[in-house]
Each structure stands twice: as C-alpha cells, then as structure tokens.
Structure 1
Amino acid sequence: MAFHATEVNFQQMRHFVETHLVSVPVQVEMMRSLATEHPIYALLDYHFFADFGMEYFARRELLSPGTPYDLVTGYGATGSLRAVMREFETTSIALDLPTDLAAREMEFLPDYRLNRYGTKYYDAIKTFVRKYVRAYYADDDAI
C-alpha cells in the first residue's frame, strides 16, 4: 500500500509538470504576442484556460505545509515540491509521446496500452492540429 501511495504521488507530480507547468510559458507568450482573434490563439486558449488557476491552486493547496494534502500524502508538501522541481529539470516541451516511448524502449510493445491507444490519440491530435494550422498558413515559413 505504501509503495502504491508513493507511485501515485510521483505520477501526480509528473502529470502536473508535464501537462500544466510546461504549458504556462507558452500560454504567457501566446497572451503577449497574439491577438485574441488569431486562429492559433483560439486553438491554444481552449486548452490553457485553467492552467493559471491550477498553478495557483497547486501552490496554495498542494505544495504548502499544513494543508490537507500535506498531511495525508506520502511525500507531503515539501516532498511534492522537491519532486516537481526534480521532474521539471528533466522535462522538455520536445518530449512528446513517441519520443517518451522510444526513450523508455516501449514503442514496440504491442500489448502496452499507452503505446496502443496513446499513439492513436497522439496521431489524431497531430493530424487535427496540422490541418487546422494549414487552413490558415500554407507552410511553416508562413507562420
């Protein structure tokens, strides 16, 4: 049970960093550089709408000493903060699903569910975004 609790904490911190914290600089630059009517702004804003609030919530409720999260989780607030910082050091926006699977040598495991289903979602999202961007820009140089 204790091993499972630490694994859950680790996965939560990894998700928080790789999904939310890594996108905040992109969101800030989007808000600084693009008009709200810009098609790329419209595409990204839908996915970013909660990140600033989530970052605030995480700092206030999850990563602060004395909170319920601090008292009941295996890492506690200070351990979770250390896990976030450690994870942030090794995370890159270039680390997409195929790169991650290849780095862990899991891209050829046919029964690995993340490989089987995750790559289908990844490919579908990539195709949608590519077609959406190409509707407004002819090629990468036009962007």
Structure 2
Amino acid sequence: MQLSMKCSIAVHCLIFIYEAKGKAKVTSSLLSQSTGCNPVVIRNIFSALKKAGIITVARGTGGAELCMEPSHITLYMIYQALEPEGLSSLIGIHPCQERKCPVAQNIHKVLETPYKKIEDFHQRLSEKEQETV
C-alpha cells in the first residue's frame, strides 16, 4: 500500500515558496511547472495548507506565502493538513456485512482502543523527531 504523494508535493511547494520570497509571486501555475502536477492539485494542497495555518494565499493570482518560519513547520503538520484521516485509513476497519455475526457486531469496539494507541504513538514519535521543512 502506497501513501499519498501529496505530502512530498506539499514539501516541494513550501520550499519553493520560501525560496521565492521577494523574487517571484508563487502561484499554482508556477508550482505546476516546477512539480509537474496539475494546477488543480496544487490549489487543493494550498487549500489544505491554508486551512492548517501553514500558508496564506491571496485571492486571484496573488500568490502564496508562508505563515511561519520553515523551522516551525514539521512533516507531521503537513501530513495532518493533507491527510487528516490518513493514519486511520491506513489502519482502517473493513465494513462488516453480516450483522448477525458476533465478530462483525463487535470488531469496531475491539479495535478502537489499540488503533487509537497506534495513532497516539505515531503522533508522539512524529512530534518528537520534529522533522522540519
């Protein structure tokens, strides 16, 4: 199973935004050329990063800017912005069709606590390492 490439594209975009500060207006069109991605993909990434408070985007063709120093932006922040349900979909629970089955009736309750522990561990590990852009 391969995780989404959105995170690496976002890192590319954030580094580009930082490097272009004061030199060029960073638009989805410009980043599309740099990343090889469709501008719509870039705009969707911008939207998620903006919602997370990582970047600001001026309306129209105003361009994007970082909201914080790159040293404060962690890979975990980027991942969470782009894939808020990423870990749960990675370790998701299959839908059970047979509701008469006692396992099907209880599988969600049984796995909820251990899955939450995995998610919490993943978050603590990611924050501890503080890998920044």
Fold conserved between structures, TM > 0.5: no
TM-score normalised by L of structure 1: 0.30
Q: Which has the higher strand share?
A: 2
